[in-house]
């Protein structure tokens, strides 16, 4: 699932390209794409009529998964790739490897997990 999303973020659009790039069985790829479409994370758009062929795109909800994927890639690089990433995520304009920061907008501090607390938000149900 994560690798399909990563390919879609990179601009891979077609079933055959995804299949080749991921080395995944057709039926598995098809069922995962169906789930992603059902979850409104991916949309498909026909690009050919006979036979019908689709291209796959991330929806806004799908693109909004970007920070989660960036974070998981960073975690994988630190803990499974000895800190030497096989792939770097960079700013398209200048090529600099990006950083992901958890920040306090009031103090402007970059936060450590130990400095994060949780409290009920506006959507908390009464009494919970």
By the criterion CB under 8 A, which residues form the site for a copy of itself?
9-10, 61, 63-68, 70-72, 74-75, 77-79, 81-82, 84-107, 109, 111, 113-125, 128
Choice between 29 and 89, CB closer to a copy of itself: 89
* Shortest CB 48 distance to a copy of itself, Å: 26
C-alpha span between 125 and 2 (Å, rounded)? 32
Choice between 19 and 74, CB closer to a copy of itself: 74
Q: How deeply is 56 buried, as exposed, middle or buried, from its count of CB atoms within 10 A (0-12, 13-18, 19+)?
A: buried
The residues near 29 (Cβ < 8 Å, ≥ 6 apart) are: 4, 15, 18, 19, 22
Q: What is the DSSP letter of 123?
A: T
Choice between 24 and 70, CB closer to a copy of itself: 70
Choice between 50 and 119, CB closer to a copy of itself: 119
Whether residue 8 contacts residue 58, with contact meaning beta carbons closer than 8 Å, is answered with yes
Whether residue 13 contacts residue 56, with contact meaning beta carbons closer than 8 Å, is answered with yes
* Shortest CB 39 distance to a copy of itself, Å: 9
């Amino acid at each position: 699932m994560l690798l399909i999303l990563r390919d879609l973020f990179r601009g891979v659009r077609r079933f055959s390209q995804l299949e080749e790039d991921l080395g995944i069985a057709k039926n598995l790829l098809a069922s995962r794409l169906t789930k992603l479409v059902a979850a409104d994370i991916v949309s498909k758009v026909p690009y050919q009529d006979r036979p019908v062929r689709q291209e796959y795109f991330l929806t806004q909800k799908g693109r909004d998964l970007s920070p989660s994927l960036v974070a998981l890639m960073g975690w994988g690089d630190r803990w499974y790739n000895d800190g030497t990433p096989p792939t770097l995520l960079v700013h398209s304009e200048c090529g600099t490897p990006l950083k992901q920061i958890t920040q306090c907008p009031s103090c402007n501090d970059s936060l450590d997990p130990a400095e994060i607390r949780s409290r009920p938000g506006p959507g908390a149900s009464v009494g919970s």
